[in-house]
């Protein structure tokens, strides 16, 4: 695997490559990321990954400083997954001057996770557009675990006519159902044991909807109450349309997804299930 830390080095290394699949990450890789890397291989002859912890998408009270940075172990995993090229810039390379031009996503950036993380999706969309301009891939892959992020980036790519196919990768779960996430490492043993409740809650809602329960507001508020009774502090549980994450109309027939964010101790976990 070739590792490049500057934009100019990366651009010359990629110049004669045929078809590129790109997987942007913030490092601290787990099986979810590696599944994306392997899927990327099915879409292109060159797989490019990036590792960059993007300050722009963290709020002042978020975990930017303590976000786990495990570069050596990440590189080994990327080699094992057959990644060809890694782009690992530092902040000075990607943001040599204050980033004053941003991608401003539509209202959805202020809803669901965006309500609790102001500026987050603007920071994600801005860095991803910048990375797309640097790497110029034909295909880019993002995990469905960050469902709202995937939707924002898919719609950004379509509306700005970027010549890039966006592919969503299925969430990878531990045996007990907990979605793999870099933030799971913050959980104490007791919290880790309690964490699968989030997935069970989402599964219960998905099953109820499939069985014909369409009282979404009640399903959502019951789920929040149940989580919070068990020591969680829940930001939201929401049943939305898959395509645009808007509230479904009564009796609407479009595909749905149930999404949640909740805190166990100081760790904020998110998860979702397509229904």
Identify which range of 22-30, 84-92, 98-106, 249-257 contacts ligand PAF by CB under 6 A.
22-30
Going from the C-alpha of 134 to that of each of 11, 19, 24, 96, 111, the distances in angstroms are 7, 15, 12, 14, 29
Regarding 26 and contact with ligand PAF (CB under 6 A), the answer is yes
When asked if residue 93 is in the footprint of ligand PAF (CB under 6 A), the reply is no
Helix (DSSP H) and strand (DSSP E) numbers for the chain: 10, 9
Q: Which of 28, 39, 54, 181 binds ligand PAF (CB under 6 A)?
A: 54
Q: Which of 70, 73, 63, 79 is nearest to 3 (CA)?
A: 79
81 binds ligand PAF (CB under 6 A): no
Calpha distance 78→101 (Å, rounded): 32
Structure tokens at 136: 């110029």
**Beta carbon of residue 17, minimum distance to ligand PAF (angstroms, whole number):** 21
Would you call 110 a catalytic residue per the annotation?
no
Bridge partners, residue 271, by sequence? 260
| Side-chain half-sphere exposure of 246, counting CA atoms within 13 A | 9
Among 127, 129, 224, 257, which residue interacts with ligand PAF (rule: CB under 6 A)? Answer: 127
Distance, CA of 206 to CA of 173 (rounded, Å): 17
Using CB under 6 A as the binding rule, whether residue 29 contacts ligand PAF is answered as no
Taking the least distance from each CB to ligand PAF, the nearer of 24 and 196 is 24
| Residue 24 binds ligand PAF (CB under 6 A) | yes
Q: Report in angstroms how near the CB of residue 25 gets to ligand PAF at its nearest.
A: 5
Of the CA atoms within 13 Å of residue 164, those in its CB half-sphere come to: 28
Exactly one of 2, 30, 33, 110 is catalytic; name it: 33
Stretch near ligand PAF under the rule CB under 6 A, chosen from 18-26, 170-178, 241-249, 267-275: 18-26
Could you list the active site residues?
33
Residues that bind ligand PAF (CB under 6 A): 24-26, 54, 57, 124, 127-128, 146, 149
């Amino acid at each position: 695997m070739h590792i490049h830390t500057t934009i100019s080095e990366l651009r010359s290394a990629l110049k004669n490559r045929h078809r590129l699949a790109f997987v942007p990450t913030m490092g601290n890789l787990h099986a979810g990321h590696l599944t994306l890397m392997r899927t990327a291989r099915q879409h292109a002859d060159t797989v490019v990954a990036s590792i960059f912890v993007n300050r722009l998408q963290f709020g002042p009270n978020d975990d930017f400083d303590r976000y786990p940075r495990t570069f050596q172990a990440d590189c080994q995993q990327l080699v094992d997954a057959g990644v060809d090229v890694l782009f690992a810039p530092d902040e000075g390379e990607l943001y040599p001057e204050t980033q004053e031009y941003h991608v401003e996503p539509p209202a959805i950036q202020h809803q669901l996770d965006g309500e609790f993380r102001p500026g987050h999706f603007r920071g994600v969309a801005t860095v991803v557009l910048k990375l797309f301009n640097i790497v110029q891939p034909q295909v880019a892959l993002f995990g469905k675990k960050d469902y709202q992020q995937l939707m924002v980036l898919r719609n950004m790519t379509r509306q700005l006519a970027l010549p890039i196919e966006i592919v969503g990768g299925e969430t990878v779960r531990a045996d007990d159902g907990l979605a793999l996430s870099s933030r799971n490492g913050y959980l104490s043993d007791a919290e880790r044991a309690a964490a699968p409740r989030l997935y069970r809650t989402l599964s219960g809602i998905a099953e109820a909807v499939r069985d014909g329960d369409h009282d979404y507001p009640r399903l959502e508020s019951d789920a929040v109450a149940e989580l919070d009774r068990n020591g969680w502090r829940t930001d939201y549980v929401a049943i939305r349309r898959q395509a645009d994450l808007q509230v479904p109309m009564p009796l609407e027939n479009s595909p749905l997804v149930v999404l949640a964010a909740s805190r166990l101790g100081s760790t904020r976990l998110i998860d979702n299930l397509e229904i």
